[in-house]
Amino acid sequence: MNKKNPVAKWPLLFTGFGLVMVCFSLSRFGSMVVTAQNSLTTSESRGKQIYTQGTSPSGKDVFAYLGDPSLELPGSAMPCANCHGLDGHGKPEGGVSPTNLAWEVLTKPYGVTHPNGRSHPPYTERALELAITCGTDPGGNKLLNVMPRYALSVQDLADLVAYLKVVGKDLDPGISERNIVLGTAGPTKGRLADISQASRAVTAAFFDELNSQGGIYDRRFEVKFLETAETPAATRAAMDRWLKDGEIFALSGVVMAGFEKDLLPLIANREVPLIGPLTLYPETGTPLNRQVFYLLSGVEGQARAFVEFAASKAELKNQSIAVVFTQGESSSKLLQAISEENKRAGFGKPRAFDYLAGQFDAASTARQLKTANSNLVFFLSGGKDVLSFLAEAVKIDWYPSIFIVGASSEIFGAPLAFSEKIFLSFPTSPADQSPEGVREFSALAEKYKLPKEHLAAQLSAFSSAKILTEAIRRVGKDLSREKLIQALEGLYEYQTGLTPAITYGPNRHIGAMGAYIIKVDLKEKQFVPAAGWISVN
Amino acid sequence: MVGSTLREKSMKGLSIVLAWGLMCAWAPVGSLPSTLAQSRQKAARKDLRYSCPMHPDVISSKRGKCPRCGMTLRTVSRAPISGPTPIPAIRDTEDSLSFSSSQIPDSKVLDQNGKSLNFYSDLIKGKTVAINFIFTTCTTICPPLTATFRRVQQELGRTGQNVQLISVSVDSSVDTPERLRDFAAKFNAGPGWTFVTGEKAEIDRLLRALGVAVANKNDHTPMILIGNDVSGFWTRSYGLSSPATLIKTMTDVASHK
């Protein structure tokens, strides 16, 4: 029967063609202009978007029709890459083995025989268009019912076919056979300029050193720097342009400088992985920003660790909790996180006291909290407000336990009566630094004359670069952004030598979730560990 | 054997079947299994279809040759097998009696809103249900499975059939209720469709009990378990069949006495 088979199919092929003419009228290829910085032509890169996301760069509709009678779905619900994979090789699942789309496989001169016995003559561009729009192969066979038929504009179809001829052969932006281009960013003016400068110097030094040791899999690193502007809008525009045109594979150690809300969605939109942004406010909501990987807990994770800590202490366990904070969007999110954690740890609903920044009425707040018997007070915003609150509390002879997320040495100015009643959280501590980690960093600092200041920012940049390179090593030579993200999500208890162990996962993009809790000894003016690492999930 | 664990209603169902088997065959209890098998075959015969081993889409109601390659058509069950690898669990639709409500554990699960539920008593008890198995990071078969389910839900809603849909995650360690909620929203899932996840051990036990546990989540089958808890009738269907086929099966199961 095998002998007869292909011959028997030829007439069907032509019937197939006839049918398809009715379905859609098709035209030939669009313009093929080779752009300078990308190996894909403009038509191919437009096709790539249709392939990976199921949407057209032209903004025209792409629809997928599934089954018969058909279900209409937006193309974005079933883009080609879902089943055939970003590399076009196909992702087998539940007994469905999507065809390998490599052009040389589809166009084998002697035709293709699939594992399920379906066989057909080699594909042509035209035949591929018919497969996409009408669901038939060049032999006139119907494709498997889970392969939708797509309705898209003539230009979009031509672009898609152009891309299908090179699918799996294009490298992600910023990668070439011998090079990987990374980016880092931060302000060069204002109060964060020095921190940003220090972070940038470490990133540059780290990759220079790595290059001097031969790079990774024969690829050298190039680090580009973007200066963030002073306004969110200008920064957003600059970043977008930079990521679009700059051929940046991934970002390492960016100093966010309050532009989180402006930059993070953009980075996700451009699909550029970002490792270790320096920020107090990591995004924790769902859906998760898949591109962004944080090192340490921000305010929220630390506040959660406080709740866990309080729950573990007999003397704090049955207290009622109050949360004092300045009004704002991030505060209300934090309050929600604390409430959740309270519920889990068995505390009641916390009392919330918010105020406008600069208008804190310490006396009245202290009185109200005393009356409410809230003997565990969280301060989400530290500084002078805490000190004036403590002074007022002493006046009414009330000594609650105070939790402050992050704090400076200002806290030593608190009334003596609060000694060992004030607790601070830190996302990392010197105890995390291993001798090897310290040696490695000191050697780099000496060799590249790194600044002496802003050590925390430097360690953060160093750890970010280390995590990024670890993930690049784990992926291997066949590197892509998607594989990098998967490798990062596979890191479990990775020791940077300078931070707590880093674990990421599909639902977890904060490497070290938790905090150290420190007690303030006001008599000796020193910080005393109150608990080791408290991990939260 | 399983008698002590059977719920009362299934017990009743089983005894009716036994009595029926006895009456039909006038046979002693010893030969019961073969009698049952015969009657099952008889019931299944009218659902028989013939298909080409090489061209699964060629389906005929009569014996004969494949119009494409000339091979002799083989018998297949009612649910057309259109996947490249035949899945044994799907093929034996006539083997519906091998599964009963009593095998469904009352596992503690979470729905897409994070609400804690008991799998049997909250989702199955007294209802007609269709259960499929998905995970939110599955990109090849879950979107068509879920889209098909959505269409089924719309059609059933239009005809006033009350079949509850359940999608159980086979990747409970990643699929949080939030992820399920996003997934449900993406496919526009309506009320009466519960997405289920939970503690990994609990969900794994549930999947084993439902006969769909796999070592690798990518091997999960596109099988749909359709059952009527009131009559105790359960069957399986291929989840990538057309919505019309599934609706017919579900309507049959719902009206099963």
Could you report the predicted ipTM of this complex, rounded to two decimals?
A: 0.72
Mean pLDDT of chain B: 75
Least CB–CB distance from A286: residue in B139, B178, B243: B178
Asked if A8 and B147 come within 8 Å (Cβ–Cβ), the reply is: no
Question: How high is the pLDDT of residue A95?
Answer: 79
Q: Is B74 helix (H, G, I), strand (E, B) or coil?
A: strand
B237 touches chain A (CB under 8 A): no
Question: How high is the pLDDT of residue B47?
Answer: 57
Higher pLDDT, A409 or B165: B165
Question: How high is the pLDDT of residue B46?
Answer: 53
H or E, element range at A440:
helix A435-447
Least CB–CB distance from B151: residue in A71, A78, A93: A71
Asked if B182 and A4 come within 8 Å (Cβ–Cβ), the reply is: no
CA proximity to A459, closest of A203, A222, A189, A188: A203
A69 touches chain B (CB under 8 A): yes
Query: How many other CB atoms are found less than 10 A from the CB of residue A163?
Result: 24
Percent of all residues in chain A with a pLDDT value above 70, rounded to a whole number: 92
Least CB–CB distance from B70: residue in A4, A77, A91: A4
Contact present, A83 and B139 (Cβ < 8 Å): yes
pLDDT digits (tens, 9 = 90+) for A285-304: 767 889 999 999 888 888 88
User: Which residues, listed in sequence order, are joined to residue A142 by a DSSP beta bridge?
Assistant: A136
CA proximity to A94, closest of B193, B94, B133: B133
Beta strand pairing call for A376-379 and A401-405: parallel
pLDDT digits (tens, 9 = 90+) for B138-194: 888 888 889 889 889 988 888 888 899 999 999 998 999 999 999 999 888 888 899
pLDDT-derived band at B79 (thresholds 50, 70, 90) equals very low
A336 touches chain B (CB under 8 A): no
Cβ neighbours of B147 in A, within 8 Å? 66, 71, 73, 77-78
Mean pLDDT of chain A: 85
In the stretch 71-100 of chain B, residues with CB closer than 8 A to chain A read 71, 82-85, 87
B242 touches chain A (CB under 8 A): yes
Q: Which of B138, B140, B142, B219 to mutate to test the interface with A (most CBs of A within 10 A)?
A: B140
Asked if B143 and A77 come within 8 Å (Cβ–Cβ), the reply is: yes
Task: In whole angstroms, give the CA distance from residue B226 to residue B254.
Answer: 9
In the stretch 88-117 of chain A, residues with CB closer than 8 A to chain B read 91-98, 114-117
In A290-329, DSSP assigns E strands to 292-296, 321-326
In the stretch 163-182 of chain B, residues with CB closer than 8 A to chain A read 174, 176, 178-179, 182
B139 touches chain A (CB under 8 A): yes
**Is residue A474 scored above 90 in pLDDT?**
yes
Task: In whole angstroms, give the CA distance from residue A495 to residue A313.
Answer: 29
Task: In whole angstroms, give the CA distance from residue A252 to residue B203.
Answer: 38
Asked if A71 and B150 come within 8 Å (Cβ–Cβ), the reply is: yes
In the stretch 145-164 of chain A, residues with CB closer than 8 A to chain B read 145-146, 148
Asked if B222 and A96 come within 8 Å (Cβ–Cβ), the reply is: yes
Least CB–CB distance from A67: residue in B55, B68, B148: B148
Task: In whole angstroms, give the CA distance from residue A188 to residue A24.
Answer: 55
**Is residue A25 scored above 70 in pLDDT?**
no
B33 touches chain A (CB under 8 A): no
Higher pLDDT, A37 or B170: B170
Task: In whole angstroms, give the CA distance from residue A316 to residue A495.
Answer: 33
- In chain B, alpha helices (H): 8-25, 32-45, 88-91, 142-159, 177-186, 200-209, 243-254
Asked if B83 and A95 come within 8 Å (Cβ–Cβ), the reply is: yes
Quote the minimal CA–CA distance from A505 to chain B in Å: 8
Asked if A77 and B240 come within 8 Å (Cβ–Cβ), the reply is: no
A12: nearest CA in chain B?
Answer: B68
B170: nearest CA in chain A?
Answer: A94
The token pair at B128 is: 């007609």
Cβ neighbours of A118 in B, within 8 Å? 54-55
- Three-state SS annotation for B124-193: HCCCEEEEEEECCCCCCCHHHHHHHHHHHHHHHHHHCCCCEEEEEECCCCCCCHHHHHHHHHHCCCCCCE
B171: nearest CA in chain A?
Answer: A506
pLDDT digits (tens, 9 = 90+) for A376-387: 898 887 678 888
- Cα–Cα separations (whole angstroms), residue A174 to A207, A211, A255, A419, A482: 15, 16, 21, 54, 14
Least CB–CB distance from B240: residue in A81, A146, A507: A146
Asked if B70 and A68 come within 8 Å (Cβ–Cβ), the reply is: no
**Is residue A409 scored above 50 in pLDDT?**
yes
User: Which residues, listed in sequence order, are joined to residue B132 by a DSSP beta bridge?
Assistant: B167
Task: In whole angstroms, give the CA distance from residue A409 to residue A412.
Answer: 6
